[in-house]
Structure 1
Amino acid sequence: MATIRVLSRSPTVAAASSLIRPGQRCCARATSGSAPLLLPRVSVRRKSGPYGYTQAKSLVFSQYGEPEKVLKLHTHSISPSLPPSSVLLRTLAAPINPADVNTIQGTYGVKPTFSPLIGTSEPSVIPGNEGVFEVVNPGSSSSTLSKGDWVIPAKTGFGTWRTHAVAPSPSSLIKLDRAGLTPLQAATVSVNPSSAYRMLRDYAADPPLREGDWFIQNGANSGVGRSAIQLARLWGYRSINVIRARSTAAATEALRAELAALGATRVVTEDELQSRAFRADLAAWTRDAGAPRLGLNCVGGASARALAKALAPGGTLVTYGGMSRQPVALPTGLLIFKDLRLRGFWLSRWADAQPDDKARTVAEILDLVRAGKLTDVPVVEVPWEWDTEEGVLREAVQGTLEGFRQGKGVFVFKDT
């Protein structure tokens, strides 16, 4: 039987063609006595599938390993028959953070739960802890969300590397005031600047840091480091910022100047931090207010030890990362005679235990962003369109492990 193209504009045929998949027989007839219609097979993709289903794609992994080997792109459908409390979301942007990569590798502090929920052949996990979404359908029971609102996950583990998502309830989301913001600004607010904000505010030994006080940090050109520099400038703190030397002296000086423009008081290299001359430089810089009472460590090893030596008696060293993969090992004398405090900061623990504090912190940070007082971290946009190949997305995640990147990788969703 020959295929019949549906050209009629009659309501009966139009209604039938909107409900039936290409190639499926239709009981409607164009004219009395004609053969059943067979809709033509077409290759046009439908973002909203037949019967109101939403077509979605997600990066998933079903076993631990390197992202380039274990990540897969999974296509699935989201039913229009969702519980009244559920919220259908469309992803706008989702960063690629080192902790996300560690989760895929199986080296992160908490292991995710593998699930076949989205129809994968094996129980899988959707990675990504940070991102911003647009509300597509707020659910029939929601009184706090409307279509078009921007939201971020209230807690970690949501899985943001996907074109669409279903949140279990409005309470699992934080609504943002989207006025004056770009998706990139909203997507990158809940990890780096929030970490810097909470460590500077919450972890200094009594009393808290005051205007004119010093703190010291390594990894100063990271996302957290850049946020800490800018927040410190706004709050009147002074900072000593440690960076790795670049491949050329000119590149190192360019980075010094870049951080100084953000508000860094002093910028030194790791070699300078660990040199004999640094002790005298530190004493001269901090003569009026005293040595730093707070150190922020994301490197570990010798760098963390040098930070601890720079702290004032009773100071606090906060570790929130370990890029060198070396332990924090301090001389006994620093603990006995300087009475240093060693603390750890894990953003997920804070965010999951205090979602209201997270919402307030995010709102305050975004107010600073709107006012131009807190600039975006440098990013490398990774366009994610419906036809973007799996390998392109995998390579973007794997590239996060490379050193001296131009910026944080961020999936930017287009035409999805």
Structure 2
Amino acid sequence: MLSQKSGLRLQHTFGSGSVYACRRLASTTAIPWPTFAKQLLYHRNGATTNVLQLEKNKLPEIQASDVGVAMLRSPVNPADVNAVEGVYPIRPPMPAVGGGEGVGVVVKVGEGVTDLKAGDWVIPRAAGALGTWQSHLVHAADNFVKVPNDIPAEYASILSVNPPTAFRMLEDFADLKEGDVVAQNGATSAVGRAVIQMCALKGVKTINLIRDRPNIEEVTADLKALGATYVVTDSSARLPETRAMLKKEKSAKLGLNCVGGKSCAQIVRYMGNNGVLVTYGGMAKEPVTLPTASQIFQNIKAIGFWMSQWYTERGKADRLRMVEDIAGM
């Protein structure tokens, strides 16, 4: 079971991909149910500092199929900010409560609900669907997935987006065996850190491409502590000694791209015949660069992945199984 001493140290995923914000409850027992909830709302799209406002609004009555949930932790992802700005594909009707993921405790249970009870910890069934930047919320029980309540709440709060993205890409696009290699850019991101740790648990090696920065030695040591095999910067990737070092390694079976542009092209250089390049982000706001020779002579395939789309195509049972797999690491 996932714990502070377990193999997958999710606290490290808060480094850059998820800026941690939380609401702390002293206890999850005997939590009173309020009439009003505090909500971080926006009535129009725009910069978060301009449009977000804290409001106190009355909670709806709990119907037979509903549960009342008190939020324990609510992280802040770049996608949450993009949603507020109006530049994310998921656009909730206005006014909207911000936040796409988080963990809460069930306090009230509708008379028709049989699979959840008071005290259970739950996360939204689909990221971005409920609005988690609020103290309490009422929704149909089917919109939640139960998660273990014996893991740190901050770990549970991110079981919707970043670790699942890493998990799905590693599971769905290549048959990875011990000794295989995965190459990725954006390795310091929340997904990148999760990829490193999940690969290390499988005995899969990772080539991790990151941006040059003043504290590169510190960042490299941090990623190595998570289990990174190789850490390469944009500038060191071009050095003869780096090329010689990586030439001795097996070619990557899977490439993961969240940057685009030249960084993506560099990842492709580490890949072997019949490899799969998965793009799940575009932080550089540049097109995916895939050399023609790599497509023709190496048969490298490029595909995109969006965690939200996976949720829309899969049932609650698949979601629950994935959460259990990640929490069990």
Amino acid at match of 1:77: K
Amino acid at match of 2:86: G
TM-score w.r.t. the length of structure 1 is 0.68
Name 1:39's counterpart in structure 2: none
Matches within 5 A, 1:214-233: 214-233=181-200
**Alignment equivalent of 1:138, drawn from 109, 122, 136:** 109
Q: Shift of residue 276 of structure 1?
A: 5.4
Is the partner of 1:166 in helix, strand or coil? Answer: strand
Name 2:28's counterpart in structure 1: none
Q: Shift of residue 144 of structure 1?
A: 1.6
Name 1:371's counterpart in structure 2: none
Q: Shift of residue 230 of structure 1?
A: 0.9
| Counterpart check, 1:164 vs 2:136 | yes
Matches within 5 A, 1:268-347: 268-275=232-239, 277-284=241-248, 286=249, 290-347=250-307
Q: Distance in 2 between matches of 1:223 and 1:270?
A: 19
| Counterpart check, 1:86 vs 2:46 | no
Q: Distance in 1 between matches of 2:126 and 2:85?
A: 21
Amino acid at match of 1:237: V
Q: Distance in 1 between matches of 2:299 and 2:110?
A: 54
1:8-37 deviations in whole A, cap 9, x for unaligned?
A: xxxxxxxxxxxxxxxxxxxxxxxxxxxxxx
1:137-156 deviations in whole A, cap 9, x for unaligned?
A: 01111122111111011112
**Alignment equivalent of 1:264, drawn from 215, 228, 231:** 228
Q: Shift of residue 53 of structure 1?
A: 5.4
Amino acid at match of 2:181: W
| Counterpart check, 1:70 vs 2:31 | no
Amino acid at match of 2:72: L
**What CA RMSD, in Å, does the superposition of the two structures yield over aligned residues?**
1.7
Q: Distance in 2 between matches of 1:227 and 1:329?
A: 24
**Alignment equivalent of 1:127, drawn from 70, 83, 98:** 98
**Alignment equivalent of 1:358, drawn from 315, 319, 325:** 319
Is the partner of 1:293 in helix, strand or coil? Answer: strand
Name 2:19's counterpart in structure 1: none
Amino acid at match of 1:283: K
| Counterpart check, 1:194 vs 2:164 | yes
**Alignment equivalent of 1:153, drawn from 124, 129, 132:** 124
Q: Distance in 1 between matches of 2:241 and 2:297?
A: 22
**Alignment equivalent of 1:113, drawn from 87, 92, 113:** 92
Q: Distance in 2 between matches of 1:214 and 1:82?
A: 50
Is the partner of 1:129 in helix, strand or coil? Answer: coil
Is the partner of 1:73 in helix, strand or coil? Answer: strand
Q: Distance in 1 between matches of 2:138 and 2:37?
A: 11
CA contact (8 A) 1:64 1:70 kept: yes
Q: Shift of residue 277 of structure 1?
A: 5.0
Is the partner of 2:309 in helix, strand or coil? Answer: helix
CA contact (8 A) 1:150 1:178 kept: yes
| Counterpart check, 1:98 vs 2:98 | no
1:209-239 deviations in whole A, cap 9, x for unaligned?
A: 1111011011111111111111111111111
**Alignment equivalent of 2:179, drawn from 183, 203, 212:** 212
TM-score w.r.t. the length of structure 2 is 0.86
Judged with a 3 Å threshold, the aligned counterparts in structure 2 of structure 1 residues 300 and 275 are, in CA distance, closer, same or farther, namely farther
CA contact (8 A) 2:124 2:160 kept: no
- Larger Cα Rg: Structure 1 or Structure 2? 1
1:319-342 deviations in whole A, cap 9, x for unaligned?
A: 111111111122322222222110
Name 1:400's counterpart in structure 2: none
**Alignment equivalent of 2:37, drawn from 49, 56, 67:** 56
Q: Distance in 2 between matches of 1:273 and 1:54?
A: 58
Q: Shift of residue 240 of structure 1?
A: 0.6
Structure 1: 4+ residue segments shifted above 3 A: 274-279
Q: Distance in 1 between matches of 2:309 and 2:99?
A: 16
Judged with a 3 Å threshold, the aligned counterparts in structure 2 of structure 1 residues 104 and 255 are, in CA distance, closer, same or farther, namely same
Aligned pair count reads: 297
**Alignment equivalent of 1:239, drawn from 172, 182, 206:** 206
Q: Distance in 2 between matches of 1:237 and 1:111?
A: 34
Q: Distance in 1 between matches of 2:226 and 2:203?
A: 13
Judged with a 3 Å threshold, the aligned counterparts in structure 2 of structure 1 residues 217 and 258 are, in CA distance, closer, same or farther, namely same
Q: Shift of residue 254 of structure 1?
A: 1.4
Q: Shift of residue 176 of structure 1?
A: 1.5
Name 2:5's counterpart in structure 1: none
CA contact (8 A) 1:154 1:352 kept: no
